[in-house]
Structure 1
């Protein structure tokens, strides 16, 4: 049996910072979609860009309305790369 160390992160901070105009394409859930609990949240986000003025001091967070994205600061990215973390993929937003 091989033993390896694993670390988990439960990111609960949510920041409303997606820049709709700078992003490639965004669409929202509407009433006609039949899911009232999702109305006003993102249906899809392509080519996401964030507004850094809305982020404040957050280093790790999820974006409001589009929880698929996990955003980390450049400092956290560099630290993860330095330790050789696996299973990560970084894309500048």
Structure 2
């Protein structure tokens, strides 16, 4: 379903799982978009004095994340540049996953 609805945004890699006869796929989100709305989200940046100069001014935490939808450009599946924890999906993809009965998912509007 993801490959059909978001072919530009995902890559599916087949993997074998020991002692499992079923086919498994690893989802790779191929889009990384700088889209976190820093004024609407609660963000904390790594300070210059942290002892980690390579991390200075990078996101240390992002809470109540909101994205700037104008920067997304129609992407249906992506990760946010600088904060790659959550996988962001469009409402169309969310609805399709729910319709399929996908398990292990949690959706939160951003």
Query: TM-score, with normalisation over the residues of structure 2?
Result: 0.75
Matched, 1:10 2:28: yes
From 71, 76, 82, give the equivalent of 1:65: 82
- Structure 2 distance, partners of 1:82, 1:13, is 24
Work out which of the two has the higher radius of gyration on C-alpha atoms and give 1 or 2: 2
Alignment length (residue pairs)? 92
CA distance in 2, matches of 1:74, 1:35: 38
Match of 2:48 in 1: 31
Helix, strand or coil for the counterpart of 1:62?
Answer: strand
Q: Relative to total residues, which structure has the larger strand share, 1 or 2?
A: 2
Which stretch shifts more, 57-66 or 7-16? 7-16
Q: TM-score, normalised by structure 1?
A: 0.87
Where in structure 2 are there 5+ consecutive unaligned residues?
A: 1-18
CA root-mean-square deviation: 1.6
